[in-house]
Structure 1
Amino acid sequence: MNKKIMLLSSFIGLILLTGCTSTSKYPSSEEQNKITQFTQTGIHYYWHGGDLSKAEKEFFKGITLKGKYDVVENSFKEASLLSPYRTDLRFGIASTQIIEKKTTDALNTYKEILAIYPENFEAGILLAGYSKQIGDMKTYSDTIENLKKNNPEKTQAYLNKFENADKNMNIQLNTQAFKVNGKHAIVILGYALGENGVMKPTLIERLKQGLALHRKNPKSPIIVSGGVQKGGVTEAFVMKNWLVSNGVPAYLIHMDDQAKDTVGNAIYSTEILAKLAPENVTLISSASHIRRGLSVFEEAANLKGLNLNYTNLVYLDYPTVQEAQKVSEAEKLVIYRDLIRTSGIWAYPGIQQ
């Protein structure tokens, strides 16, 4: 049987098994209201979490929820049952499954999208990228060949992005501050604040590395990036205050207080970098985070047409540098996920990049 027919048959079977009553491409106004309610619930739990027992009682009768991402996934699943032809809802399901490390489920969700819309580039490139990272090279190769038939240039562009991310997985991590020649800027990535806006040890260690690098490069401007608020302050705000209290001139420090995650760090900090116009940028983060950070920052710079040379300085959150150099399968998936998000393919289309 033709592969596309098999996938479509599986999709139709899924609809029948789950009891979907809406096979129309155009949900009723009542169904649309429910879809909106489900998606709003999902994205609220994505950012804030909430009462799981309340969510079970009000929205997901008969479903036991194990955590906030269960709420997100099931929210988009319920919405998709009401409008099975809407790809944005299915992308929401798959993105949450990736977060939950349900990679096989996510790949099947992308295949369901392709069964309905075989030429959907976004589903295809996500299927290819994640298949590559779990070692399913046949699916990766077959999907890339199909994508090249209709979108050769766009497909090649993503292959170049993947190649750059793979390069970053093999970078040498720098744990000691160094002098940088030429026009230079420093970017320090934030980390979630504790209650009442208190900095956690990880963020302080990143700032210590930033301070050490500043002392080697005292004229370099510094971007502090992080916009999640706790206790009425953002990461960027407390980061700037810490640096100033440790002798860094305030005029050197630029705040990105909008970013809510690593992708936001890259997008908003790159806007500042475009104005500063450095040649070289040193990105500072934890060793476990730096490869993802570099991949998304380089992508954000490329999208803005900036030719920046990136170096790294890390806070070593591993027992040894040798252990830090190893890249886990989970980290590879997250690097590809955030790279693709930065490139413009949203995790939750129309809601959250």
Structure 2
Amino acid sequence: MRSLLKPLVLGMALSTALVGCTSLTEQPASTPSFEQQKQINDLVQTGMYYYWNGGDLKKVEQEFFKGITLKGKFDVVEASFEQASELAPNRLDLRFGIASTQIIQSKVDDAIKTYESILELDPENFDAGILAAAYKKVSGDMEGYKAEMADLGQRYPEQTADYLSTFERTDTFMATELNTKASTSKEKNHTIVTLGYALSPEGEMRQPLIDRLEQTLAAATKNPEATVIVSGGVPNGGVTESFLMKQWLVEKGVAADRIYMDDKAKDTVGNAIYSTEIMKELGTEHVTLISSASHMRRALSIFAEVADRENAEISFDNLVAMDFDTMEEAMTVSANESLVIYRDMLRGSGIWAYPGLQI
């Protein structure tokens, strides 16, 4: 089992330093010249800046990507990693970055081809193989998926069996019943985990987050012995989601010493990783996960995967803030949602989307 907690912190902290380093996934090749290495570093830094922040597309077209018409920030990310890979074609970390960006843009067939190009350079690369298999499954290519898994199973029986179980659990979560009413849990060592939602530019909570907190208050009231984790570390207006979430709950009467803040997470995978770190300290055995209905299946899949990889024996139920008109709509899983669930579950399993930069 690969641990996620310390590598994520290390990777995030050293992202700038790692860009120019030899990757663990890099194949032997001639060393790029100083100028080429500088250009690779600039391209990767540009790509990751646009991944997190977006920016001026016209400006970056003129400076980096002449002749390419960019339609959005992920075009910049993909183009950055593609040009960096052209300068260092044997650096597999750059190819993983290309494929991850293609997945973000729902370019699944392109991503599978990119993973296959990694396997041409490194036939023993398990991560590329399992990613190719998973996305073939998501895209409906069950014949290709089964062939890929059969091949991986012969060479890596334990790892492949582990992922087969993960895929089965993920598929189960995609059909899970969504609960809209708080209930009293009989489980021991119970923790309520509430996921954040982006604040306004002025640092104010938006309605989806308030809706989640209303459900948190109801669950905390019905389960007075449960600890509470509020997770969200994206700052706006000088405050993070988790800070305002705790403040709101305390003002509504929840004791401050029941509430633990994760103020590091920048996305749902981070929510799972950092909340699991807290839950291991608390000795949590059961979680009521709270988020919006549209987000719950993905959140459950990621949290369960991270808990499993961290050897934390935690069971999960859910409580949702409805953001659909009907439960029938809420229970419908689109093809795009399936893709996003698998994408982030795989990140939660320890496969970095951008090796050394972003899990």
Q: Give the alignment of 1:55-134 within 5 angstroms.
A: 55-134=60-139
Measure the CA separation in 2 of the matches of 1:119 and 1:146. 11
- Which SS does the other structure have where 2:202 is aligned? helix
Aligned to 1:212: 218
By how many angstroms is 1:170 displaced? 0.9
Alignment match of 1:48 (pick from 38, 53, 72) = 53
- The letter for the 2-side match of 1:82 is L
Alignment match of 1:233 (pick from 218, 221, 239) = 239
Structure 1: gaps (5+ residues): 1-22
Q: What is the total number of aligned residue pairs between the two structures?
A: 331
Aligned to 2:263: 257
By how many angstroms is 1:25 displaced? 4.2
By how many angstroms is 1:278 displaced? 2.4
By how many angstroms is 1:279 displaced? 2.3
Aligned to 1:160: 165
Alignment match of 1:187 (pick from 186, 193, 197) = 193
Measure the CA separation in 2 of the matches of 1:344 and 1:304. 10
- The letter for the 2-side match of 1:339 is M
| 1:193-244 deviations in Å (ceiling 9; x for gaps) | 1111111111111111101111111221100000011111111001111111
Single out whichever of 294-303 and 169-178 deviates more from structure 2.
294-303
Measure the CA separation in 1 of the matches of 2:58 and 2:285. 52
- Which SS does the other structure have where 1:311 is aligned? strand
Alignment match of 1:141 (pick from 129, 135, 146) = 146
| 1:273 pairs with 2:279 | yes
Aligned to 1:38: 43
By how many angstroms is 1:24 displaced? 5.3
Aligned to 1:298: 304
| 1:265-299 deviations in Å (ceiling 9; x for gaps) | 00000011011112211000011111111111111
Q: Indicate if the aligned counterparts of 1:52 and 1:65 stay in contact, CA closer than 8 A.
A: yes
Q: Indicate if the aligned counterparts of 1:25 and 1:85 stay in contact, CA closer than 8 A.
A: no
Aligned to 1:282: 288
Measure the CA separation in 2 of the matches of 1:278 and 1:86. 41
Q: Indicate if the aligned counterparts of 1:25 and 1:84 stay in contact, CA closer than 8 A.
A: no
| 1:167-194 deviations in Å (ceiling 9; x for gaps) | 1011100001100013211000001111
Q: Indicate if the aligned counterparts of 1:124 and 1:143 stay in contact, CA closer than 8 A.
A: yes
Measure the CA separation in 2 of the matches of 1:185 and 1:349. 32
By how many angstroms is 1:85 displaced? 1.0
Measure the CA separation in 2 of the matches of 1:35 and 1:147. 32
Measure the CA separation in 2 of the matches of 1:25 and 1:213. 59
Measure the CA separation in 2 of the matches of 1:279 and 1:291. 20
- Which SS does the other structure have where 1:196 is aligned? coil
By how many angstroms is 1:144 displaced? 0.9
Measure the CA separation in 2 of the matches of 1:325 and 1:25. 52
Greater gyration radius: 1
Measure the CA separation in 1 of the matches of 2:30 and 2:275. 40
Q: CA RMSD in A?
A: 1.1
| 1:1-48 deviations in Å (ceiling 9; x for gaps) | xxxxxxxxxxxxxxxxxxxxxx95432221111111100000010001
| 1:349 pairs with 2:355 | yes
By how many angstroms is 1:333 displaced? 1.0
Structure 2: gaps (5+ residues): 1-27
Q: Indicate if the aligned counterparts of 1:173 and 1:314 stay in contact, CA closer than 8 A.
A: yes
Q: Indicate if the aligned counterparts of 1:228 and 1:234 stay in contact, CA closer than 8 A.
A: yes
Measure the CA separation in 2 of the matches of 1:25 and 1:329. 42
